[in-house]
A and B are shown apart, each in its own frame.
Chain A
Amino acid sequence: MRGRIHALVSLAIAACVLALLSRNALAQDVTEPALKAAFIYNFARFTTWPTEATAVDSFQICVLNDSAVAEALERAVAGRSLTERPVSVTSVAAMAPKKACRVLYMAGLPVARAAEVVADLHDAPVLTISNIDGFVSAGGMTQFFFEHGQLRFRIRLESAKRAGLQISSRLLIMARPQ
């Protein structure tokens, strides 16, 4: 019996040492808004805007109709920059002008309403993202969906090109076909 306890203790110590030494054992636990915020930040990192579009003081990410994602984004981008500008997060109303947004995330709208919001941008250089079903078919650029409990995305390259955005091939490789 004593031998077994020794065996257990050694095993426990070995496991703890492994955990301490291992560079990969970095803890995470996430809510869906936090995960979406991290994806949105990454989408922006792999997108190039026309230079005139980023010649402003800050890089503005706008959120329409999703306060949880807006809060998560604020935490995620605190102290970070995109296109060498500090990032700011703004919650916007449906009717508000959005052409100053470099990224626009929208949620919780009927798909027809989301299509109107996208159309109102008139191909301004705004990376549009949503979790709304059918968003890319309705003119949006990036759409979240779930597969096997994990977050996935689709990209509609034509919409991005019309708005003068370049999306990195690294991002396109990971996107799912429409």
Chain B
Amino acid sequence: MSALLSFKRTACALACAVALPIVAAAQSLTDLSLEDLMQIDAGQVFGASERLQPAIEAPASVSFITAQEISRYGYRTLADVLRAVRGVYVSNDRNFSLVGIRGFGKPGDYNSRILLLVNGHRVNDNVFGQAEVGAEFGLDPAMFERVEIIRGPASSLYGDSAFFAVVNVITRSGAALGGSSVTVESGTLGTRLVRSSTGQRLPNGVDLALSGTYEHSDGVSRLFFPAFNAPETNNGIAEGLDAEGSKQFYGRVSKGGLTITTMYGTRRRDIPTASSQTLFNQQLWHEETTDRHGLFDADYGRSFGDTRLTLRGSYDRFSYSGNYPFAVESDGTPTMVGQTEGLGSRWTATAGVTRTFRNRHTLRAGAEFIDNLHQDQRATFVNVTEPFFDLPYSSTQQALYVQNETKLTHWLIANGGLRYDRYEQFDRVTPRAAIIVLPSSAQSFKYLYGGAFRAPNFYELNDFYFGDRVHALRPEAIDTHEFVWERYFNDRLRTAVSTYWYKADRLITLVLDENTFLGATFVNQGQVRAKGLEVEAQVRLRGESRALVSYALQHAADHETGAELPNSPRHVAKGRVSLPGPIGRSFISLEAQYLSSRATSPHPDPGNGVVSTGSVGAAATVNVTLVQPIGRAWELTGGIRNLFDTTYADPVSDQHVQEAVEQNGRTARVGLTWKFQAK
């Protein structure tokens, strides 16, 4: 009943999103003013080849989300941004957000098969390999200029982690901020936010941007988990254990070819689910995690005729700490409260050169050196001086890569790339090839072949937990084939169709091993096959607003058993539209997302120990956001997420007693921004 209703609602919302562009009359581009033309997104992508190129010619299927969409749709995290993208789904276990793409979204993974970049620089941490996409990412989405989602493997350019997709977050310049602003927001679940930003380009060419954000949410005050429904665990109710708070700082300064970017973010979150066999509803010692990420990045680029040289030096620091109450006396004495810490830091130096030969060949070659100063893991117990384990690691990596694009004729592009990665324990060579046929400037057919690898991360290499067998771990690998058809119709409609076959082998998989501390270890044994079809239609409305509908059909299964992967919906459908509202200069933006049912991770039954797999039902959610400028200096925003209060749950890892964790119902927030323009 509820799934059917969900489907009807989504279908209706999607139909509306499709119908709107059709009823809206087209206007010739030539009739637009220059001001309007300058607002149009020209569909350029950087992250597909480490240089700016039209997406229609890029060796990948690419999606973008722009700053304007982020503000119109009220996206508050990178996870919200990714949820808007064709075929991508994001699940949440009330601690971390997990990105699913092309049918892969295994609960318990740390997003280590997605490469996350900030302005082209890797920000997956070097302990867990994690791409953090919730508030723990550390950068406020209000500081995103655009987000590029580049589907498919890209290890031939980026190495480790570029397995299923690359997400490149391009941050805002001072010129783009164009002045100062102060925002306050308040919402249900005790949510409040304060943001202050300033930015401008000075007459001497220096561009400055600065921003700081504080956000806190009390979360759902009483969360009911049926798996804990017993009198000794408060009848399954976790009270006041869903709070999340974050602070984010961003700074950027640039002049000429030099850009220096800094960011620091910290997030603390209570975990209400009693994951990791902790005490349920423990009020004196909360289960909680704190993540911090700091980045200092200096990037320099200079052109010499047809040659462009880029040099980059970056320092990243990640830290993670978690509190895990396993046993606490009623007076609060922490009999057994575990504290785990992860510390990762690294220096990265890269040098690259791009050269165009006779306007037919574009060659890019680069070298990368990474010094992982810290890849440390440590665990202690409260009131115990000796650490439980203390594993300080460090390592270095080097890589060389080369990419070439050849325009064989004006309608045919051949693209090839190769990268050599050297680690202390192993090395890898990863290729990529693409043939792109452009029958006209408004249409392309692409055949894409790509490989990628993911190196074992230092969590998987934790021999205290998982025993000595993990020293034999080697990178997992993927081979993919993809066909893409992109077409622009009448300067107003863009369509994309993509079909793919993925073959992932030697996946690093947790298996039982009673000789290890945790009773399990990691081995290279998983094999997954996936195939799918994605379609998308997008209409750009005047002033950079646009409507978009997408649908993905996907099937990802274990090669040996044929079983569908957990958290892998067969159907993912989305629609969104942003339109001028009834009052002057206002915008109303509506989006709908539908996920079909998903299998949960295999969970042992607490009673008889039999391992079984369940599923969560299909779910459709609708969000609506209003942006209303008032006068020149003020802007009012209001948003409702999960407008129809749909009840749905996301599958979670087998570290949880629960198979799935229910997501938030309807929530609302309002905000007020005061802006003043730079002179």
Binding site for B on A (CB under 8 A): 1, 4-5, 7-9, 11-12, 15-16, 18-20, 22, 24-35, 37-39, 41-42, 46, 65, 67-68, 71-72, 76-77, 80, 108-112, 133-134, 146-152, 170-171, 174, 177
Known: A15-B577, A71-B441. A76 touches B41 (CB 8 A): no
- A28-B492, A133-B303, A148-B176 as given contacts; A19 in contact with B23, CB under 8 Å: yes
Asked if residues B542 and A28 are in contact (CB atoms below 8 Å), the reply is yes
* Contact call A151/B38, Cβ cutoff below 8 A: yes
CA distance in complex: A16, B579 (Å): 10
Q: Looking at the complex, which one of B24, B173, B546 makes contact with A19 (CB distance below 8 Å)?
A: B24
Please tell me which one of the listed residues B12, B35, B64, B622 contacts residue A149 in the complex, with CB atoms under 8 A apart.
B64
Q: Is the Cβ of A18 less than 8 Å from the Cβ of B42?
A: no
CB-based contact A29/B538 at 8 Å: yes
Q: State which of B43, B303, B541, B546 has its C-beta within 8 Å of the C-beta of A32.
A: B43
A29 touching B13, Cβ below 8 Å: no
Q: Which residues of B contact A80 (CB under 8 A)?
A: 30
| Contact status A27-B26, CB under 8 Å | yes
- Chain B interface, number of residues (Cβ within 8 angstroms): 75
Interface centre among A12, A37, A42 (most CB of B within 10 A): A12
Whether B542 lies near A174 (C-beta < 8 A) is: no
- The answer to whether A148 and B146 touch across the interface, beta carbons within 8 angstroms, is yes
> Which chain B residues lie closer than 8 Å to A31 at the CB level?
43, 54, 56, 441-442, 488, 491
B16 engages A16 (CB within 8 Å):
yes
In the complex, B462 has a CB within 8 A of chain A? no
Most buried by B among A29, A33, A77, A112: A29
Given A16-B23, A19-B579, A109-B359, decide whether A32 and B42 contact each other with a Cβ distance below 8 A. Answer: yes
Stretch at the interface among B326-334, B383-391, B580-588, B597-605: B580-588
Do A111 and B305 have beta carbons less than 8 Å apart? yes
Give residues 133-178 of B contacting A (CB, 8 Å): 145-146, 170, 173, 175-176
CB distance B582 to A18 under 8 Å? Answer: yes
Residue of B whose beta carbon sits closest to that of A111: B305
Give the distance in Å from the alpha carbon of A27 to the alpha carbon of B494 in the complex: 11
Shortest distance from the beta carbon of B30 to any chain A beta carbon, whole Å? 5
Q: A8-B9, A12-B15 are in contact. List 10 more A-B contacts (CB 8 A).
A: A8-B13, A22-B580, A24-B541, A28-B29, A28-B541, A30-B43, A30-B492, A77-B30, A110-B359, A148-B173
Closest 7 CB pairs of A and B: A68-B441, A26-B27, A108-B359, A29-B540, A27-B492, A38-B29, A12-B16
CB pair B590 A34 closer than 8 Å: no
Q: Mark B15-32, 1 if CB is under 8 A from A, else 0.
A: 110011101111111101
Give CA–CA (A36, B23) in the complex, Å: 27
B5 contacts partner chain A, Cβ-Cβ < 8 Å: yes
Does B359 contact A148, Cβ atoms closer than 8 Å? no
CA distance A8 to B11 in the complex (A): 11
User: How distant is B487 from chain A, measured CB to nearest CB, in Å?
Assistant: 10
Q: Give CA–CA (A1, B644) in the complex, Å.
A: 10
Q: Which residues of B contact A72 (CB under 8 A)?
A: 441
Q: Is the beta-carbon distance between B43 and A149 smaller than 8 angstroms?
A: yes
The yes or no answer to B306 lying at the interface (CB within 8 A) is yes
Interface assignment of B66: CB less than 8 Å from any CB of chain A: yes
Query: What are 14 A-B residue pairs whose CB atoms fall within 8 Å in the complex?
Result: A8-B13, A12-B16, A24-B580, A27-B26, A27-B27, A28-B32, A30-B40, A31-B441, A39-B34, A65-B359, A148-B67, A148-B173, A148-B176, A174-B38
Residues of chain A contacted by B16 (CB below 8 angstroms): 12, 15-16
Which residue of B19, B175, B579 is within 8 Å of A18 (Cβ)? B579
Residues of chain B within 8 A (CB-CB) of A170 are 34
With a cutoff of 8 Å between Cβ atoms, the chain B residues found around residue A35 in the complex are: 29, 37, 40, 42
Give B23-80 interface residues, CB cut-off 8 Å to A.
23-30, 32-35, 37-44, 52, 54, 56, 64, 66-67
Q: Are A33 and B441 in contact (CB under 8 A)?
A: yes
Chain B contact surface mostly: mixed
Alpha-carbon gap, A52 to B28, bound state (A): 31
Pairwise interchain contact A38-B52, C-beta atoms closer than 8 A: no
Contact A1–B54 (Cβ < 8 Å): no
In the complex formed, the residue of B with least CB distance to A7 is: B644
Chain B interface (Cβ < 8 Å from any Cβ of A): 5, 8-9, 12-13, 15-16, 19-21, 23-30, 32-35, 37-44, 52, 54, 56, 64, 66-67, 145-146, 170, 173, 175-176, 205, 303, 305-306, 356, 359, 410, 440-442, 488-489, 491-494, 538-543, 546, 577, 579-582, 588, 590, 622, 624, 644
Q: Which residues of A contact B33 (CB under 8 A)?
A: 42
Contacts of B359 in A (CB 8 A): 65, 108-110
Docked pose: A30 CA to B39 CA in angstroms: 12
Across the interface, do A4 and B644 meet the contact criterion of CB distance under 8 Å? yes
Q: Given that A19-B20, A28-B492, A32-B43 are known contacts, is A149 also in contact with B25, CB under 8 Å in the complex?
A: no
**A25:B542 contact, CB within 8 angstroms:** yes
Please state if B539 and A34 are interface contacts (CB–CB under 8 Å): no
Cβ-defined contact, B588 with A148, below 8 A: no
- Specify which of B15, B40, B64, B175 is in contact with A28 (CB 8 Å cutoff): B40
Tell me the nearest residue of chain A to B20, going by C-beta: A19
Which chain B residues border A32 with CB–CB below 8 Å?
A: 42-44, 54, 56, 441
Tell whether, in the assembled complex, residue A26 and residue B541 are in contact, meaning their CB atoms are under 8 Å apart.
yes
Q: Which of A11, A30, A147, A171 contacts B488 (CB 8 A)?
A: A30
- Assess A146 versus B42: contact at CB under 8 Å? Given A15-B16, A15-B590: yes
Residues of B within 8 Å of A108, CB to CB, are: 359
Q: Which chain B residues lie closer than 8 Å to A38 at the CB level?
A: 29-30, 32, 37
Which A residues are in CB contact (< 8 Å) with B493? 27, 29
A20 to B19, CA, bound (A): 11
Q: Which of B39, B176, B306 lies in contact with A110, CB distance below 8 A? A: B306
Compute how far the CA of A18 lies from the CA of B583 in the bound complex, rounded to whole angstroms.
Answer: 11
In the bound assembly, the distance between CA atoms of A131 and B541 in angstroms comes to 26
A176 → B minimal CB distance (Å): 9
Closest chain A CB from B148 CB (angstroms) = 9
**In this complex, what residue of A is CB-closest to B32?**
A38
CA distance A4 to B356 in the complex (A): 59
Complex contacts, B15 vs chain A, CB 8 Å = 12
The residues of B that contact A39 with a CB separation of less than 8 Å are 34, 37
Contact A150 B542 (CB under 8 A): no
Task: Collect the chain A residues with CB atoms within 8 Å of residue B8's CB.
Answer: 5
CB closest chain-B residue, reference A33: B441
Contact B303 A134 (CB under 8 A): yes
Name the one of B12, B54, B494 contacting A29, with C-beta atoms under 8 angstroms.
B494
**Cβ of B588: which chain A residues have Cβ within 8 Å of it?**
15, 18
Interface pair B579/A30, CB less than 8 Å apart: no
A1, A7, A149 — most chain B CB neighbours (10 Å): A149
Q: B40 and A151: CB pair below 8 A? A: yes
Listed residue (A16, A31, A146, A151) with the most chain B CB atoms within 10 angstroms of its CB: A31
- Determine whether the beta carbon of A30 is less than 8 Å from that of B491: yes
Our pick among A4, A15, A27 for the contact of B21 (Cβ within 8 Å) is A27
B41 pairs with A5, CB closer than 8 A: no
**Cα distance A46–B33 in the bound complex, in angstroms:** 11
Is there an interface contact between B66 and A149, defined as CB atoms closer than 8 Å? yes
Are B579 and A22 in contact, CB atoms less than 8 angstroms apart? yes
Are A12's CB and B54's CB within 8 A?
no
Q: How far is the CA of A178 from the CA of B153 in the complex (A)?
A: 38
